Amino acid sequence: MIDNDTWEVHCQLSSSDSLSLLEYLFPDALLLPIAKGKLSATQSSMQQPKQNHFTMSAVLEQCRAQNLYGLKPQNEDRKRKRSKEMWLAGCPNLDPKASPQREVQLAIFFNNVLTAISEACDTVRPIQWDAKSSYTPLKGVEAVRKPDISSFFPGSQTLDWRHLISFCEVKNRCTPVNERKSYVEAAGKASCLLYAQDGRHLAPCIRILGSSIYLTIFDRGGSLSTAGFDIHSHPEVFLRILIGVSAAPLSTLGFDASI
């Protein structure tokens, strides 16, 4: 049913529409309000015009300053090749030929980036990501499902769909076949999440295919996905999706704030 029916009510956005959606769902003003932190001190010293939030470009610069993102050191035999910026410390090798078992490394990398951003912005209070669910089925529903990487409410003692905030599905190659497989698997797990949390109206999740990131949002009537963006070539898009799913207000992530 998921493979045949859910795909029929799925909307795949273009790159330009995807960027517009991400800016609408996760604007800088929502994710990065100004408080204390390293960025606040930097902005004050630069005497920039006052505004009530940081920018994603400033967050990326902070990642560069902490050597999380930048130029990869080149070997002597590669000096003539043009260097490209990429995510560095802690980012697993996302090349299709690399080890497919990268869930633990990705969870650690997500947390490293979020910790750096939290220190920089102070107001960002991200949830933590964990790969234990990749080998342990979540409780709370009859179906046996294992999200590759999961984020739970702080203090959750068990891996349970009722405590899940979001999840991430991982594939080692970004191909049309894998894109569909990843979507179908995510749809099955999103259905478990929405079944276990009957007061929730939508469930955003992250999908990583090779080095491309997708945001997919499921609700009780269908779903939509952004286009895929290479996390190294589009670092601000990667940051917006990761921070959005990890630190946006719960109402933005589909929870009923009135309960």
pLDDT at site 214: 98
50: left (phi over 0), alpha (psi -120 to 50) or beta: beta
- Rounded Cα–Cα distance for residues 83 and 211 (Å): 17
- Rounded Cα–Cα distance for residues 8 and 15 (Å): 20
- Rounded Cα–Cα distance for residues 153 and 164 (Å): 6
User: Quick check: is 236 in a domain?
Assistant: yes
pTM for the model: 0.89
User: Quick check: is 6 in a domain?
Assistant: no
Rounded to the nearest 10 degrees, how much is the dihedral formed by the CA atoms of 41, 47, 52, 58? -60
User: Quick check: is 146 in a domain?
Assistant: yes
User: Quick check: is 59 in a domain?
Assistant: yes
User: Quick check: is 9 in a domain?
Assistant: no
User: Quick check: is 88 in a domain?
Assistant: yes
60: left (phi over 0), alpha (psi -120 to 50) or beta: alpha
Domain that holds residue 113: 14-41+50-74+82-253
How many domains are there within the chain?
A: 1
User: Quick check: is 207 in a domain?
Assistant: yes
Residue range 39-98, pLDDT digits in tens: 655 554 444 556 788 899 999 998 999 899 999 866 544 554 567 899 987 899 888 777
For the chain, 259 residues long, give each residue's pLDDT as a single digit of tens. 345 455 567 899 999 999 999 999 999 999 988 765 566 555 544 445 567 888 999 999 989 998 999 998 665 445 545 678 999 878 998 887 777 678 999 999 999 999 988 888 876 677 899 999 999 999 999 989 999 999 999 888 899 999 999 999 999 999 999 999 999 999 999 999 999 999 999 999 999 999 999 999 999 889 999 999 999 999 999 999 999 999 999 999 999 877 6
User: Quick check: is 171 in a domain?
Assistant: yes
